[in-house]
Structure formats: structure tokens, C-alpha cells
Amino acid sequence: MKGELARIQPARACCRRAELLGLLHGSDGGRLRTLDHATARTAVVLAGSLGVPVNAPRVPLAGERVRHPGARRHLVVAVAVEHLGAWRWEDAPACDRRSFLRGVLLGSGSISFGRSGPHVEFVLRTADAAETLQALLALMGVRGLRTARRGHHVVYLKGQDEIVALLGLVGANRGVLELETQRVGRDVRARLNRLLNAEGANLARTVHAADRQLRAIDRLERDGTLPRLAASLREAAGQRRRMPDADLDTLAVGLGVSRSAMNHRLRRLIELAGDGED
């Protein structure tokens, strides 16, 4: 999704400026730190198109702080933010607001997929930056939650509807399509599992009922009661013996009677056999 967003090239200068400001939202003095090469390249291209001084991406020097030996080194892009001038969300048109959020998602955001569905979060350096982003998302109809983690401030989205709304705002149309495809797939699998579980439960009940009926019929035959029963009950007993695995509807069709009549006859056989099992 970040690759898709990085390939978007805003035609208007105001949108390019807003996206660059989003990339630097909550950054340390105009220094964008990212692990994503496409994001670093986007910052350079945007700054260059606006005539803003920018340093080429570099990795931290040996003496700079790294979390632990062997950790992945971020690319650092230094942008002269003073050349961007003042910018206010309240005064910005809708296209600039979407571009700003696209920049924030590229620069500070990440998306992951788990068993509970997709999860988007923005990791920001300051509480003010996180609070501001949460408020701006709310103004665009996207509900974000906020927390703190290991010295950073995180704004995150949990619901798929919220994430789809955000991706649609920033122009990640292929990402939206993939999320919706995954959601449809999950719904279909869940529906299929429910149907299979219901079918399995119905089959188990049918097998259990047939076993009771066959045992009752055998008991009635052993004690000599079966030949003296009414013709309708003998017919029901014979039908069950001929079709030991059939369900109630199939048995009823075979005798040309209603389902309720077949059920009543089989229950009567169980009662006459003295099977008190529930």
C-alpha cells in the first residue's frame, strides 16, 4: 500500500506541499526517518518540485543513536521546513487535506494484518503530534484511538470500516479493493463454516434418532409386539429398516405421508418399546 501511495504524484503545488508537510508531521526538525525507500524518495521528489532544499537520503552515521546492534538503520531525509511556510488545516481545501493525510500515512504509518483483521497505526514522536492527528482524522470522519508505547505516541485504527475510509481518503484504491476482497473472503469462509457446522449437527441428530428407532424396532420384534401393531406402524418400522441412514423427510416421501405423520409413527414405536431416553 505504501508503494501505491508513493507512486501518486500530485499535480498541484499546494497538494505536493501538503503531502510533504504530512510526511514531516511530528518529525524532529524536518528530519524524516523511514525504513521505506519509496517514502524517502517521495520526500526528495516533493521537496525538489517545490524548490525546497533537501538532503539526499542517508543512513545514520556510526556515532548516531541506534536502538541496538544489528537493528535496521532508518533512512534520514533532511528537509528545510522553513521554506514551506505556514500551513493551516482549517484553511486548506479538501485535496490538500487528503494529501496531508497521505503524507502522514507514508511517513509515520504502518498497516498489518492479523487474525482479528487489519490494523493501522501512526507512530509519532510527540503527544501534540498524536493529538493533532487524532483530531484531524475525526474531522474527516475517521475514528482513531491513542496510546503510548516505548516513549512514542501512537494513533491507531482497529475497525476495517475506519481503515477503508482512511485508505479511500488518501487514494489507496488498490489497497481498499484488497481489503474488501479479504473481508468478502472472510465472510464467505465464516458462512461456509457455519453451514458445515449446522449440517454436521443435523447429521449427528439424524444418526442418533435413527439408532434409537432401530433399537426400538428390534426390541418390539424380539418380544413379539411388532407383528401385532397397526399397519401404519409396521410400515414405518419396515421403512426405517430399509433406509437406516435416511432423514425424516426421505422416509416420509417413501411412504407417501407427511413429515409430521412419519415423525409421529416413529415416536410411537419408541414409546411402545419403552425407550425412555431423551
What's the grid cell of residue 43? 520526500
| C-alpha cell at position 74 | 532508518
How far apart, in whole angstroms, are the C-alpha atoms of residue 35 and residue 75?
Answer: 6
Closest CA to 17 of 57, 50, 39: 50
Class of domain 2-171: alpha beta
98-142 pLDDT, tens digit each? 999 999 999 888 888 777 778 889 988 889 999 999 999 999 999
Burial 10-29 (b: 16+ CB within 10 A, else e): beeeebbbbbbbbbbbbbee
Contact criterion met (CB below 8 Å) for 155 and 124: yes
> Please, are residues 102 and 19 in contact by the beta-carbon 8 Å criterion?
yes
pLDDT in tens, 4-56: 888 888 889 999 999 999 998 877 778 888 888 888 899 899 999 999 888 87
Q: Are 18 and 92 in contact (CB under 8 A)?
A: yes
H or E element, residue 99: helix 94-108
